[in-house]
Amino acid sequence: MTVVVSRLIPVSHTVVDSIHRQCGYVGRQKIIFGISAQQRQFAFKAKRPQTIKDQRWDFENKNPYHAERKESSIDHLAQGQLYTPEALQTIQLTIHLNKLVTFGYEEEGLLQRYGDRAALLAQGFKPKELGLILNAFARTKHLHEELLSTFATTIPPRLPGMNPQGLALTCNAYAKFPQWAKKNPHKIKKLFRRISQEIPHKLPMFEGQGLANIAYAYGQLGIKDNLLFDDLMDEVLRRPEEFNVQELTMLTKAFSQDTETSVRKTQFWNTICYWFLEQRMEIEPYYMVTILNCLSKVNHGHKKLFDTFAQDLTVSIEQLNFVQCCLVVNAFGRIREYDIGLFEVLSKRLKLLLSQPLDDAGKVNLCASIVHSYGRLHQPVPDELFLAISHTLRQHEDIVSSQGLTNLVHGMARLNIKDTTLLGWIAKQIVKSSEKGEFTPEALCVVLYSYARLKVRSEVLIYLLSQQLLKAAYMPKLSGQGVGMILYSLAKLKIEDDRLINACKKQARLLGPNLNQMEVYMIVHALSQLNRLDEQLSAILNERIENLEEIPITQEDDWWASWSPPDEMETHGFRPASATSPVPPVPEEKEISKGRRSQRMKVDETIESSRDFVDYAPPEDVPRRGRRGRRSVTLENAEESISMEASHPEEQNEIYRSPSSPKENADASPSSTDRDNLWTILEQSDATDVNSLKAHFRVSENTRGRKGNKPS
């Protein structure tokens, strides 16, 4: 009711009181005098809507315990809009979703509805809320592609307002969905490139868990950012005491993706190993396996750490499964570290586990890696373990990969294991796999070399391997290492394949300026024995030797270490083919320590990894063309054509091991690294006359070369 009172008409108090009584107004008197008037208040006030109060949460201010109980419960949300995300806005949606996941009420259909609503309201979320939404879906591992795509385009403009916790949650969430990242590489790279620009100036505000999550996310998604990882490395070195065992393990897995060595990285790995030893009592056995595998991947053999973990794993060997036992053997094989007590219990544990059926192809292929690791250590495989491995491989011959066959035959060649039955089975499987194009060019070279080193001659197998190597898609991808192994194998088995030899010579001419010293000696040694070294190739190799004259011969434990096949191994299989250059770089000059190299690794010494083979995956449509008049290759004659060059016929069906034979293992353990020792090694490997090889590499001062270098 509005009261308008004229300014010219006097009004008494009795009139005002009567107006008040008629309007029923109780309280403060409000009368506006003037021409214009305002609407006065109603005579009664509207009642507030009644709310249902839970008596359990009364007196929150008087008893804080009630508030804590309310926060740790979902009852007050279940009475509201928990199951109706379509009616929630950004803040309430974030709260309800995290409560839903925290208390285990997540359902696939309900999470899908929450994801649809979050994708619709993506532009209205605050930066911190974006990270919390992604973290909730990452914890439940529920893939919502529309949400991930929408947030990937929404987050970059909001990054300046995102705190360190939000950045860590965002990186960790996208790392949980690698399958989506593979389908959308452009979006994931654009997002993480922008995150890399935002992280460095906020690094001091990160906690240890946040730094570990970011490094682990970049490693899992395969995103390389050297500048960011250098900043992370500096931050870890600044405050390493803030990281627990899990966070240190995540950092180890992330930084082990890059195998390049430097002084700064050596300091980083030494610091990580020191703090692992400080928290040794809190490390579980499966964490120890992961740590050893990552450290061996970067060839950082920390003596004290490996010895300590070896003792702990010896005691807790019963807690390791088959994959973890194989990873331990592979880790010690990479750094050439042999612990007698650990390997004794490992062999018994592996034998027990192999008596049980294996249900995974990755586990079956890991059996071959065991033999290969023993070969790197130059330690004989226990007879019972070797028989169990061969029996398991034959039972699962359909799922044995080409990499598994390569590792198996190369390990047998290193250990000089001549098992006629197993070698015949391997030849049969190689024929079957090579027809499908599963072998890479370098793997074929390793197989050919392994049979030559065992002095096993199979005409059909060698013919098949030569036909595969002569294909247009294979030969150009060979490195100098592969060419040397092919020629060495042909010379050792005394096989004169003109087409293959000429193709290898052509490839050697192309790779001549990039060959290292060992590859040059290998090629010359083989061609000299085959009497196929021409003047053109000799001139190219002479020129390369002159350029490498000042570089010392780099040898680690054995001179054949740089001729081993790839042995990088994932937890559930083998690494995919690499896409690096087919021509390996020339090794840099380094100092070689005087005296005999200790069998144990020094604590602060970084071991340079031996040059692994480069895996090249052949194209799917490799042409397969035969030649008329050639003998047809079948599985039967491939297995029957195995002939053993043994001195006694009773050795045909036995497992023969000769670890101490100087004739067969002349290239297994050299005692020095000088050039004269290399000539001795070549002389012991069924080579031609050493003096003729020396004369070949020495040039008179009348033609070309250095002054004072006169032929002997």
Residues 6+ apart with CB under 8 A from 465: 430, 434, 444, 447, 448
Q: Considering the chain, what is the average pLDDT of its residues?
A: 75
CA pair distance 690, 525, nearest whole angstrom: 9
pLDDT digits (tens, 9 = 90+) for 469-503: 998 888 888 999 999 999 999 999 988 889 999 99
Cα separations (Å) of 247 from 135, 216, 290, 566? 18, 9, 13, 29
Q: Which of 362, 625, 614, 613 has its CA nearest to residue 472?
A: 625
256: left (phi over 0), alpha (psi -120 to 50) or beta: alpha
Neighbouring residues of 511: CB distance < 8 A, sequence distance ≥ 6: 479, 480, 483, 583
What is the structure's pLDDT at 51? Answer: 58
SS3 content of the chain, % helix, strand, coil (to 5): 60, 0, 40
* Size of the chain in residues: 712
Residue 13 has pLDDT above 70, yes or no: no
Residue with tokens 């034998």: 351
Banded model confidence at residue 569, pLDDT cuts 50, 70, 90: very low
Which pLDDT value is given to residue 338? Answer: 94
Q: Is the pLDDT of residue 566 over 80?
A: no
Q: What span, in angstroms and rounded, lies between the C-alpha atoms of 176 and 192?
A: 14
DSSP state of 586: P
Q: What is the pLDDT of residue 3?
A: 46
pLDDT value, residue 564: 39
Encode pLDDT of 163-215 as tens digits.
999 999 999 999 999 999 999 999 999 999 999 999 999 999 999 999 999 99
pTM of full prediction above 0.85: no
660-675 burial, b at 16+ Cβ within 10 Å, e below that, comes to: eeeebbbbbebebbee
Cβ atoms 526, 496 nearer than 8 A: no
CB atoms within 10 A of CB 434: 21
- Does residue 516 or residue 557 have the better pLDDT? 516
Mean local confidence (pLDDT), 227-240: 95
Query: What residues have CB less than 8 Å from 455, skipping those under 6 apart?
Result: 492, 493, 644, 645
Q: Is the pLDDT of residue 514 over 70?
A: yes
Output the pLDDT for position 99.
87
Question: How does pLDDT run across 70-97, given as a tens digit for each residue?
Answer: 667 776 666 667 888 999 999 999 989 9
Band the pLDDT of 156: cuts 50, 70, 90.
Answer: very high
Task: Provide the pLDDT for residue 562.
Answer: 42
C-alpha distances (whole Å) from 64 to each of 56, 61, 71, 77, 103 are 12, 6, 11, 20, 22
